[in-house]
Amino acid sequence: MAGLTGWHLLALVVIILLLFGAAKLPALAKSMGQSARVFKGEMKAMKEDDATAAPASSDTTVSSTAAENSAARKPDGGSSSTPTT
């Protein structure tokens, strides 16, 4: 199958003009641009959330592991808060 030639593109433009009308095309282009901008912003925000969530989750894992290790070192298994001598 051959690619789109100039005549094919011209026919597509004419069909689009007939379907949507020349008056609606600027509004359509504006809404498409706004949608693309919102999508791009959301993708950037998701990447930032992932970047900030990854270090925070590893910090909580390390701190909870440290708490479990200190509780395991107590002679009574960490069940009481008073030290035994």
Q: What local confidence, expressed as pLDDT, does residue 56 receive?
A: 61
- The residue whose two tokens read 């282009």 is 29
Q: For the packed helices 25-73 and 6-20, what is the interaxial angle rounded to 10 degrees? A: 90
Alpha-carbon dihedral 11, 16, 18, 22, rounded to 10 degrees: -120
Instruction: Assess whether pLDDT exceeds 80 at residue 80.
Output: no
Give the 3-state DSSP-derived string for 3-42, with helices as H, strands as E and coil as C: CCCHHHHHHHHHHHHHHHCCCCHHHHHHHHHHHHHHHHHH
pLDDT single digits (tens) 41-65: 999 999 999 888 877 655 555 555 5
pLDDT single digits (tens) 6-41: 899 899 988 988 888 888 888 888 999 999 999 999
Q: What SS3 class is residue 83?
A: coil
Q: How confident is the model at residue 2 (pLDDT cuts 50, 70, 90)?
A: low
d(CA 24, CA 29): 9
pTM score above 0.85: no
